[in-house]
Amino acid sequence: MAKHKTPLIDQLESGPWPSFISDIKLEAESRAKNEKGLDYQIPRDVCEDLLGVLELSYKDGRTHWKHGGIVGVFGYGGGVIGRYCDQPQMFPGVAHFHTMRVNQPSGKYYTTKFLNDLLNIWELRGSGMTNMHGSTGDIVLIGTTTPQLEEIFWELTHNMDTDLGGSGGNLRTPSCCLGQSRCEYACYDTQELCHYMTLHYQDELHRPAFPYKFKFKFDGCPNCCVASIARSDLAFIGTWRDDIRIDQGAVKAYAGGEIPSNAGAHAGRDWGPFDIQKEVINLCPTGCMRYEGGKLEINTKDCTRCMHCINVMPRALRVGLDKGLSILCGAKAPILDGAQIATLLVPFVKVEEPYDELHDIIGKVWDYWMEEGKNRERVGELIKRNGMQEMLKRCDLEPIPQHVQEPRANPYIFWREDEVPGGWKRDIVEFRKHHQR
Amino acid sequence: MAIADEQAAKDTIVEALKKKKGKTKFYLKDYYKMLPDEKLMDVKRLVNQMVKEEILEYWSSGSTTLIGLKGLGKQHATEEDE
Ligand code: HEM
Ligand code: HEM
Ligand code: SF4
Ligand code: SF4
């Protein structure tokens, strides 16, 4: 018998999709039975009370969570997010209901042992409920009490060799696509770089350094499987400088329908015969391709590496050999100001240890933002407020056409006086020799 | 470059915080203003050091971090809104 009657949220189980309400009920039931005979360290009915407070919120149309707190583990300013229920008498099981963020492994590769160990800790010391994974990418452990925080932290770091993730005005848990481990498109080793940066910037990850959150994401190619271009303050996106490699024989095979396009991904329905002109050439965003006389040509100078043609014909087209990454800056979700997609900062960097060029840009972006950024202002908003030109100047970057997306959107990059020989001063006498009044 | 006289810098911070009326928790940027001549990264390190020494403490909403004298003011819930 359920502890609270929850008719409103029960309705959420009626759709065809998996329901988080069913999941919570399952965990509530498992805790009630306690088949493993665990000595639960937080209230056994935590899941029941979570359902109860959620039902109340649906009834009232308002939240019953208090936001934030001083909780954390010693020496860390991130990784724990304090949450308290504002109806603790009604729902004592969730009076404290803190979230813990745990750093996920690069590319999210797990062993079953790791997952079992993690859940063993969390069933005993937390609610047993997880979110795999949060928007930032980390493992999110939902709901525990203040006294359990240090215990969980100790076990994670000592027994499981992992660490808390970021929260607050910190570097957030960096995340990456699975990259070269499984994907032929990957232009650099995203897992390696993500892991390296996570270790290198430990202090920024664990101790607040910034006006607001700051995210790194690493995508191996412009397909952006971790959505770095939309969801990170600094996006490291794999790219190449030379030509797309073309296997003309395979192009013909695609055009003739012998190889299914998009690796067969559209097989669920009959879309008619593949039309290379319509589905590849005409959809190239820069119009830089041509297919004539059974030969495909690409004008590399105009190609923006959008990946479309490669995605459609992966056996015929491959990314180039001169690989590296582009750095883009300033994406964000629409919380304070509008949503923003990242802006190109550095078009091409070779990904080579010790990653000096990357550290150099990261350092300059942080210096500028720490100095000029307002409280709770993301770096993308700072760029918008002070202009791209100022951002480039602070990063010691020369403006290039790729920094200007399109005229009338942001074409205003002006010469500064010190860049112009002689500055703004003109010799009027000399001028008048050539120009009448 | 580190801060030359750390103890003096710590005292400056504690003094400045004690003088504040009403609010008890502040953004990192407010600490920069207390030590205008120091580099931001150094002030950040010092402030985090003072948390370790349990002079200061963090308050976090989950998305934003504020820092104040340990034990002062509200320990949970939103201070800005109340
Ligand atoms: C290769 C040659 C040219 C290029 C690449 C070019 C490019 C452009 C561009 C990008 C703009 C800005 C459009 C905008 O702000 O939306 C523009 C505006 C303009 N162009 Fe050209 N242009 C060229 C030749 C010319 C010529 C030959 C003339 C006149 C004889 C001309 C007259 C103008 C004028 C008057 C505007 C301002 C329009 C306005 O303010 O609305 N352009 N041009
Ligand atoms: C080195 C040569 C030139 C430079 C640097 C220059 C620069 C500019 C600039 C900065 C603007 C203002 C654009 C804006 O406010 O959006 C402008 C507008 C304009 N310029 Fe020029 N210009 C040059 C030569 C010329 C010449 C030779 C002509 C015509 C004979 C011309 C005709 C115009 C016109 C029609 C406008 C639009 C005015 C308006 O719509 O308010 N420009 N030019
Ligand atoms: S972002 Fe590119 S490299 Fe990474 S997994 Fe996706 S397609 Fe592959
Ligand atoms: S990658 Fe995109 S821009 Fe480049 S040739 Fe292919 S479709 Fe065109």
* Residue among A252, A220, A182 at smallest CA distance from A319: A220
* Residue among A65, A68, A66, A64 at smallest CA distance from A169: A68
Q: What is the pLDDT of residues A323-351, one digit of tens each?
A: 999 999 999 988 777 889 999 999 999 99
Instruction: Grade residue B79 by pLDDT with cuts at 50, 70 and 90.
Output: very low
- A330–chain B nearest CA distance, Å: 17
Name the fold adopted by A175-241+323-404. Answer: Sulfite Reductase Hemoprotein; domain 1 (3.30.413)
Q: Which CATH code of 1.10.10.10, 3.40.50.970, 3.40.50.880, 3.40.640.10 fits the domain covering B6-81? A: 1.10.10.10
Q: What is the pLDDT of residues B40-51, one digit of tens each?
A: 889 999 999 999
Q: Which two tokens stand for residue A266?
A: 């559209």
**Segment A99-106 mean pLDDT:** 95
A109 in Cβ contact with A181 (< 8 Å):
yes
What are the sequence ranges of the domains in chain B? 6-81
Residue B60 has pLDDT above 90, yes or no: no
What are the sequence ranges of the domains in chain A? 7-159, 175-241+323-404, 245-318
Name the fold adopted by A245-318. Answer: Alpha-Beta Plaits (3.30.70)
pLDDT value at position B78? 46
Alpha carbon of A338 to those of A332, A381, A382, A417, B64: distances in Å?
Answer: 8, 9, 13, 34, 18
pLDDT value at position B74? 64
A185 lines ligand 3 (CB under 6 A): yes
Tell me if chain B has a CB within 8 Å of the CB of A167.
Answer: yes
3-class DSSP assignment, residue A217 = strand
Round to whole Å and give the CA distance between A131 and A110: 15
Residue A285: phi, psi to the nearest 5?
-65, -25
Q: Do B63 and A167 touch (CB under 8 A)?
A: yes
Q: What is the pLDDT of residues A6-56, one digit of tens each?
A: 999 999 999 999 999 999 999 999 999 999 999 999 999 999 999 999 999
pLDDT value at position B80? 42
pLDDT value at position B21? 83
pLDDT value at position A1? 62
Residue of B nearest to A136 (CA): B63
- B4–chain A nearest CA distance, Å: 20
Ligand nearest to the CA of residue A220, numbered in listed order: 3
Instruction: Grade residue A159 by pLDDT with cuts at 50, 70 and 90.
Output: very high
Q: What share of chain A is helix, strand, coil (3-state, %, to 5)?
A: 35, 15, 45
Q: What percent of chain A has pLDDT over 90?
A: 82
Of A317 and A67, the one with more pLDDT: A317
Q: What is the pLDDT of residues B4-28, one digit of tens each?
A: 899 999 999 999 999 888 888 899 9
Q: Which one of B29, B40, B62 has the shortest CB-CB distance to A68?
A: B62
Q: What is the pLDDT of residues A404-433, one digit of tens each?
A: 877 666 667 888 898 888 888 888 888 888
A288 lines ligand 4 (CB under 6 A): yes
Please tell me whether the interface predicted TM-score (ipTM) of this complex is above 0.85.
no
Query: Of chain A residues 64-83, which have a CB less than 8 A from chain B?
Result: 66-72, 74-75, 77-78, 80-83
pLDDT value at position A157? 95
Domain A7-159 and domain A245-318 have a common topology: yes
pLDDT value at position B34? 94
Q: Do A211 and B61 touch (CB under 8 A)?
A: no
| DSSP track, A3-70 | SS--HHHHGGGSSSS--HHHHHHHHHHHHHH-TT----SS-TTHHHHHHHHHHHHHHHTS--EEE-BS
Q: What is the pLDDT of residues A228-254, one digit of tens each?
A: 999 999 999 999 999 999 999 999 999
Round to whole Å and give the CA distance between A377 and A379: 6
pLDDT value at position B82? 38
Ligand nearest to the CA of residue A316, numbered in listed order: 4
pLDDT value at position B3? 85
pLDDT value at position A405? 76
Task: Identify the architecture of domain A7-159 in CATH.
Answer: 2-Layer Sandwich (3.30)
